[in-house]
């Protein structure tokens, strides 16, 4: 596994959870895994007992001379090894000057200006390590890269193996809106020549595009839900005009043609699962009282404790609706801001947690502050608080414009909170819309990314909470099998496909 995050050591978002849980499950199924990560400053703070390899790893990289001339050359990286309590082997690659920083991807919200160099050279180092493993007679059968940050791993593997028997490469797209797009001038930092900078590989609307190059280089590309895979291959409604943002509802951000060109044999949607070792109300150390599908009475204690902690009125009969996640257009944070008053008028208490776009955050905070003690905006919260929020909630809202997979709705179901979500991506694959009598269904779906549609779905859910059938719905969603066992076996089939 080539990744830039791994829970709980380095976690920015769901990528960390997915890589950790998939790796642990594959290991439990009897497969040998090595996870390769950059050596961030935060790794040392994690308190791991690292073993430093004496022999440095040399990898292909551009060399800049004193007069500024750039030429192909070699760089040296230091390798650190550790075996985690889960049994997984992790290798950290330390490239001088690139990852010894406080942030992972940015510094106070501003992306690092040398990210092309950082993640391009890391990908080159991973490919060099794959070649070294072969030379030592310990070659990997598969190298599985994740998202744009490691998307060049498949490309560099093909390059360094140069026709020799290379490991099979798989690239998973966790969110195609993030592509790793940089000015063409960054090509020299990666040692790329003009022959590589064409529309059939790196070039995309006059820029370098890491994800595009990875899609075209990997043996197989996967994404994190079947419905999202379909959405990514649909023709974009308008030209991207070179923006490629994907933030306004066009999931592929201009790469739909590339993804369609891969065909069904090379592009597969596999739904992410839930790591029950980390997310289970039966064992969760972060919540005040534990519960399960057969006896959920302690969920009420979790709710009362949270409401008291937040200074809200403790009314066990009043529904608690939670929104948890990044504040951005993709997640429909503007839709939620416009819907705050309507949600509260259904009789629910609303708690919103998350950070991101400062303008949208301010808009949310303003809308919520107008509702007094009926709503609260928490901003960024700790991992422990996110668990307490989900355990306390009667429902969670996810008005996403697009959602590759979504983990919050699956966590919510496990903790007996009904998801209220827009019909898109992985939300469609994990939520069946409830019928009027709650005899079927696992949540509440709505079609349009509008405040009116969201409030309507919340009103449906709140009305359902006041019926005797609600307990049966809660039991049904808590019994769902969202473990990583099935997706891990699907990945194994992908690894073994020739």
CATH number at residue 264: 3.40.50.2000
Is residue 2 assigned to a domain? no
Sign, Cα dihedral of 407, 413, 415, 418: positive
Total domains in the chain come to 2
Is residue 211 assigned to a domain? yes
pLDDT for position 272:
97
- Are 172 and 268 in the same domain? yes
Q: Enter the tokens of residue 376.
A: 């609260």
- Are 267 and 315 in the same domain? no
Other CB atoms within 10 Å distance of the CB of residue 11: 17
- Are 122 and 96 in the same domain? yes
**Exposure string for 374-387, b = 16+ CB within 10 A, e = fewer:** bbbbbeebeeebbb
**Exposure string for 399-424, b = 16+ CB within 10 A, e = fewer:** bbbbbbbbbbbbbbbbbbbbbbbbbb
- Are 194 and 318 in the same domain? no
Domain encompassing residue 66:
14-273+485-496
- Are 407 and 491 in the same domain? no
Other CB atoms within 10 Å distance of the CB of residue 27: 17
- Are 157 and 205 in the same domain? yes
- Are 76 and 221 in the same domain? yes
- Are 472 and 492 in the same domain? no
Is residue 284 assigned to a domain? no
Q: Are 294 and 288 in contact (CB under 8 A)?
A: no
- Are 354 and 233 in the same domain? no
Q: Are 422 and 399 in contact (CB under 8 A)?
A: yes
Is residue 235 assigned to a domain? yes
Is residue 6 assigned to a domain? no
- Are 201 and 52 in the same domain? yes
Query: Helices 152-161 & 115-135, crossing angle to 10 degrees?
Result: 40
Is residue 149 assigned to a domain? yes
- Are 242 and 340 in the same domain? no
* Bridge-based pairing state of the strands 418-422 and 444-446: parallel
- Are 305 and 246 in the same domain? no
Is residue 67 assigned to a domain? yes
Q: Tens-of-pLDDT digits for all 498 residues of the chain?
A: 999 999 999 999 899 999 999 999 999 999 999 999 999 999 988 889 999 999 999 998 876 666 656 667 889 999 999 999 888 999 999 999 999 999 999 887 789 999 999 999 999 999 999 999 999 999 999 999 999 999 999 999 999 999 788 999 999 999 999 999 999 999 988 888 888 899 999 999 999 999 999 999 999 999 999 999 999 998 765 444 333 344 445 788 999 999 999 999 999 999 999 999 999 999 999 999 999 999 999 999 999 999 999 999 999 999 999 999 999 999 999 999 999 999 999 999 999 999 999 999 999 999 999 998 899 999 999 999 999 999 999 999 999 999 999 999 999 999 999 999 999 999 999 999 999 999 999 999 999 999 999 999 999 999 999 999 999 999 999 999 999 999 999 999 999 986
Is residue 410 assigned to a domain? yes
């Amino acid at each position: 596994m080539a990744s830039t995050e791994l829970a709980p050591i380095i976690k920015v978002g769901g990528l960390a959870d997915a890589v950790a849980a998939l790796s642990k499950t594959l290991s439990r199924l009897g497969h040998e895994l090595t996870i390769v990560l950059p050596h961030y400053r935060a790794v040392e703070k994690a308190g791991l007992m690292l073993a430093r390899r004496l022999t440095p790893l040399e990898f292909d990289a551009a060399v800049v001379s004193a007069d500024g001339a750039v030429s192909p050359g070699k760089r040296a990286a230091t390798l650190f090894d550790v075996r985690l309590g889960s049994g997984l082997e992790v290798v950290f690659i330390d490239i001088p000057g690139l990852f010894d920083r406080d942030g992972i991807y940015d510094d106070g919200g501003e992306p690092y200006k040398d990210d092309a160099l950082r993640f391009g050279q890391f990908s080159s180092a991973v490919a060099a390590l794959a070649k070294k493993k072969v030379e030592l007679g310990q070659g990997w059968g598969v190298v599985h890269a994740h998202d744009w940050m490691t998307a060049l791993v498949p490309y560099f593997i093909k390059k360094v193996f140069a026709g020799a028997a290379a490991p099979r490469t798989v690239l998973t797209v966790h969110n195609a809106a993030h592509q790793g797009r940089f000015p063409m001038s960054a090509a020299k930092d990666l040692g790329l020549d003009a022959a590589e900078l064409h529309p059939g590989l790196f070039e995309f609307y006059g820029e370098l595009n890491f994800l595009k190059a990875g899609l075209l280089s990997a043996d197989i590309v996967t994404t994190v839900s079947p419905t999202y895979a379909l959405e990514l291959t649909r023709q974009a409604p308008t030209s991207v005009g070179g923006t490629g943002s994907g933030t306004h509802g066009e999931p592929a951000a201009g790469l739909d043609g590339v993804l369609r060109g891969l065909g069904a044999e090379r592009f597969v949607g596999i739904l992410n699962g839930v790591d029950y070792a980390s997310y289970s109300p039966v064992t969760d150390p972060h919540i005040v009282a534990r519960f399960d599908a057969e006896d959920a009475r302690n969920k009420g204690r979790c709710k009362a404790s949270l409401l008291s902690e937040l200074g809200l009125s403790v009314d066990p009969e009043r529904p608690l609706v939670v929104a948890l996640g990044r504040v951005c257009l993709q997640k429909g944070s503007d839709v939620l801001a416009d819907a705050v008053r309507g949600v509260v008028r259904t009789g629910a208490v609303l708690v919103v947690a998350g950070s991101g776009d400062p303008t949208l955050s301010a808009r949310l905070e303003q809308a919520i502050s107008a509702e007094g003690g009926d709503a609260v905006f928490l901003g960024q919260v700790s991992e422990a608080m996110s668990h307490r929020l989900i355990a306390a909630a009667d429902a969670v809202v996810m008005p996403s414009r697009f959602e590759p997979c979504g983990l919050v709705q699956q966590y919510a179901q496990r903790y007996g909170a009904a998801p209220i979500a827009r019909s898109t991506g992985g939300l469609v694959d994990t939520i069946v819309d409830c019928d009027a009598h709650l005899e079927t269904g696992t949540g509440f779906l709505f079609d349009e990314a509008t405040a009116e549609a969201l409030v309507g779905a919340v009103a449906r859910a709140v009305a359902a909470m006041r019926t005797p059938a609600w307990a049966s719905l809660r039991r049904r969603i808590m019994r769902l099998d969202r473990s990583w066992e099935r997706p891990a076996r699907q990945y194994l089939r992908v690894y073994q496909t020739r």
